[in-house]
Structure 1
Amino acid sequence: MDFDILSGARIGLVGPSGSGKSTLLHILGGLDKPTRGSIGWPGLDHATRLRPRGIGLVFQSPSLFPALTAVENVELPSLLAGEMPDRDKSLSLLRALGLQGLAEKLPEDLSGGQAQRIAIARALLLRPRLVLADEPTGQLDSATAGRVMDAILNNLEGSNCALLVATHDENVAGRLATRWTMNHGRLAFS
């Protein structure tokens, strides 16, 4: 496959389970290396410095640190970037994702959907150049999924941040300007 992700793009990546969507996101995020070919991040930085400022990642399963509260999990990218966390901004993201009142909860006290929304807030915190989200609404009911997509798109509105969302949810994919389809490791653009 050969493609570019342009600044400000809003891309829905759809396809059956096992088609390679997660693998593609992991390669784009610098977590995995392609088995052949090459990948470049000309609009970002060298692959060893992609995160947390260049690329925000939302994994398919919530990936919170168990010893940190919800708000501390959101603030983690700031610490990794050597910055002081902005508590007001972190709390604002939690509110936007419907998580007010959960800031001091530990991950063990949260539902899977709540933990996933905290991971989304963490990915958005530093306003990266690219957000890669793997089934960010997969553990949510349709009404909450709609509100989460509203919060993601509202947070990115007016920014040059590109968004690539791997999803099985046609409602989520339909809200994004571009649709890519993955099938048996092959990518088709529409």
Structure 2
Amino acid sequence: MTDALVLGKGLGRDFHDGTAQQITVLRDVDCEVAKGSRIALVGPSGSGKTTLLHILGGLDKPTTGEIEWPGLGSFEELRPRQIGLVFQTPSLFPALTAAQNVSLPLVLAGGDATTDGTAASLLASFGLAELADKLPEELSGGQAQRIAMARALVIGPKLVLADEPTGQLDSKTAHLFFDTVLRHLEGTDVALVVATHDEAVAARMATRWTMDHGRLLKGRPGGMAA
């Protein structure tokens, strides 16, 4: 059985700016995310990090190349069970409380969130237990982002993709937040890919992928980038 959760070959992504002009965001990207990977995806704004994460998570399709999920199953099975996603902005549902937002993947997967204690446990782990009944409009940006991470982890996915998860946190809170994430994943085969500008976060990951004008440059050992 392969250890590869995701395989991308020759990935390219083009967009149009509303005119006839074509903008190329990804260029000929080869990548593999294996079980247990800890990958920091770094590079300047506009280099293609978010687009690559969205393609890895099945939220977007490449214009060229192929993407497959050999360790996760079919495309239809990816979410919410196999992949947990954290967006650059928290993307919480405004009508749901913090606890309900965290529990949502369990509900979508057919579980009973009223009897499953995972959501409450994760909220406590992230220091957010007292916010369980708060609506998103009552939360700070940093609190909402921590809740979004708890939501991504609640169902026990095989792959977590996070886009700038510490972007709205001060350095001390970001450090504690990332401690919690890594501690939660310790000893598991769950792969974690984090797009980040935070060097302290990137330094704690085993592998570094660097985006440069849509190209993925080879990083430290532990994963594959070409």
TM range, smaller chain:
over 0.9
Give TM-score, length-normalised by structure 2.
Answer: 0.82
Unpaired stretches in structure 1, ≥5 consecutive residues: none
Q: Secondary structure at the match of 1:5?
A: strand
Instruction: Specify the structure having the higher radius of gyration (Cα).
Output: 2
| Farther-moved stretch of structure 1 (85-94 vs 44-53) | 85-94
Give TM-score, length-normalised by structure 1.
Answer: 0.98
Q: CA deviation at 1:87?
A: 4.6
Residue from 85, 91, 97 that aligns with 1:69:
97
Q: How many Å separate the matches in 2 of 1:146 and 1:98? A: 13
Q: How many Å separate the matches in 2 of 1:178 and 1:46? A: 26
Residue from 21, 44, 47 that aligns with 1:19:
47
Match of 2:17 in 1: none
Residue from 139, 157, 167 that aligns with 1:128:
157
Sequence identity, in percent? 66
Match of 1:139 in 2: 168
Q: How many Å separate the matches in 2 of 1:99 and 1:143? A: 16
Residue from 44, 69, 73 that aligns with 1:45:
73
Q: Secondary structure at the match of 1:57?
A: strand
Match of 2:137 in 1: 108
Match of 1:183 in 2: 212
Q: CA deviation at 1:43?
A: 0.2
For these two proteins, the number of residue pairs brought into alignment is 190
Match of 2:107 in 1: 79
Q: CA deviation at 1:189?
A: 2.1
Q: How many Å separate the matches in 1 of 2:33 and 2:209? A: 11
Q: How many Å separate the matches in 2 of 1:76 and 1:26? A: 20
Cα shift readout 1:77-106 (whole Å, capped 9, x = no counterpart): 001101112552211111111212000000
More RCO (CA 8 Å, sep 6+): 1
Cα shift readout 1:119-175 (whole Å, capped 9, x = no counterpart): 000000011010000000000000010011011101111110000000000000001
**Structure 1 segments of 4 or more deviating over 6 A?**
none
Q: CA deviation at 1:48?
A: 2.0
Q: Secondary structure at the match of 2:182?
A: helix
